[in-house]
């Protein structure tokens, strides 16, 4: 009478760690294999796949950095205030202290829109 896979898995699941370790040793001896080698081979494709995934991911958060205010500083301050919700003094300090981040962790569309507005007012802007 042959055991089904389910019956074998249930039997293994009910074993203690010590019993499981002894079972693995017995299987290695009987079949002339090493469980460590099988685990290393199985883990290699998973690790390779995981490493490739982040490289393929597209960046989703961008920082808008004001490099220079330009000639129309007042216009730039107005845009910074509207985009960030800062008060007049805080927005002026940000513009005066360039290069500084205006907004961080925003979507690509929002970053591009803010960059266009600031550049239209004469500022130099970088999106990272």
User: What was the pLDDT predicted at 85?
Assistant: 85
User: What was the pLDDT predicted at 41?
Assistant: 47
Measured distance CA(48)–CA(8) in Å, rounded: 31
Name the packing angle between helices 73-84 and 108-120 (round to 10°): 160
pLDDT at 45 over 80: no
**pLDDT tens digits, 85-96:** 888 888 888 888
User: What was the pLDDT predicted at 128?
Assistant: 85
User: What was the pLDDT predicted at 58?
Assistant: 64
Measured distance CA(110)–CA(9) in Å, rounded: 53
pLDDT at 37 over 70: no
pLDDT confidence bin for 118, thresholds 50/70/90? confident
Stronger pLDDT, 42 or 64, i.e. the higher one:
64
| pTM for the whole structure | 0.51
Burial of 89 (0-12, 13-18, 19+ CB in 10 A): exposed
Q: What is the pLDDT of the chain when averaged over all its residues?
A: 79
Counting Cα atoms < 13 Å in the Cβ hemisphere of 46 gives 5
Which residues, listed in sequence order, are joined to residue 66 by a DSSP beta bridge? 100, 125
The token pair at 120 is 């239209």
Task: Kindly state the percentage of the chain with pLDDT values over 70.
Answer: 80
């Amino acid at each position: 009478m042959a055991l089904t896979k389910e019956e074998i898995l249930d039997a293994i699941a009910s074993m203690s760690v010590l019993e499981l370790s002894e079972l693995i040793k017995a299987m290695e001896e009987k079949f002339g294999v090493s469980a460590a080698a099988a685990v290393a081979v199985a883990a290699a494709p998973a690790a390779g796949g995981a490493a490739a995934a982040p490289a393929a991911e597209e960046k989703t958060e961008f920082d808008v950095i004001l490099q220079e205010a330009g000639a129309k500083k007042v216009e730039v301050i107005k845009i910074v205030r509207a985009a960030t919700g800062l008060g007049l003094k805080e927005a002026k300090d940000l513009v005066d202290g360039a290069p500084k981040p205006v907004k961080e962790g925003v979507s690509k569309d929002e970053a591009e829109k803010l960059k266009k507005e600031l550049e239209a007012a004469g500022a130099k802007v970088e999106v990272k």
